Amino acid sequence: MTKAATTAVCERGERYRPFLVSRVGNADPLDRALDALRTGADPVAALDELDAALQASGDPQGLYGALRGVRDPSTATGIESSVPGESLYLCPTERCSRYWLPDGPGPAPQCALSEAPLRRRKL
C-alpha cells in the first residue's frame, strides 16, 4: 500500500496542495509526506497524516481511497506489449508505481521526489 500511496503523492501531490491550502490554510501534511519520501525515511506516518488531512478537508476518499484499482502498469488497459518499440516510463528510483506513456515526441516527465526523468522501459 505504501508504494501505491507514494505513486498517488507523486502523481497528484501538486493537485492536493491547493486543495489543502484552500481548506485548512496550509499544505503541511503534503510537505511532510514529500520530505519523508525524498529523504528515504519511513513514510507511513506521514502518508497516514496526509490521508487524514485530505479526508478532514472534504475529500472522502483521502489518499488511500483513491488507490482502489491501481494496477501494475505493465498490465494496464491500453498498453499493447506486442507493438515493437513501444516504451513505458517508470519511476527512476522504483519507490512508486508511477508510469507515463508518451503520446508523441518529447522529454519524459520528472520524478516529483528525485527530480530525475522517469526511466524508459521497452515493452
What are the Cα distances from residue 93, in Å, to 4, 47, 112?
Answer: 14, 18, 11
**pTM of the entire structure?**
0.62
* Separation in Å, CA 90 to CA 10, 13, 22, 94: 12, 17, 32, 8
Domain that holds residue 8: 2-65
Name the average pLDDT for the chain: 80
pLDDT digits over 89-108, tens only? 888 888 888 888 887 777 88
Total tally of structural domains belonging to the chain:
1
Q: How many CA atoms lie within 13 A of 78 on its CB side?
A: 8
Residue 47 domain-assigned (yes or no) = yes
Beta strands in the chain (DSSP E): 87-90, 99-100, 119-122
In a domain, 13, yes or no: yes
49 within a domain of the structure (yes/no) = yes
- Domain membership of residue 76 (yes or no) is no
Asked if residue 74 has pLDDT above 70, the reply is no
89 in Cβ contact with 120 (< 8 Å): yes
Statement: residue 78 has pLDDT above 50: no
- Span 12-36, pLDDT tens digits: 888 899 989 998 899 999 999 999 9
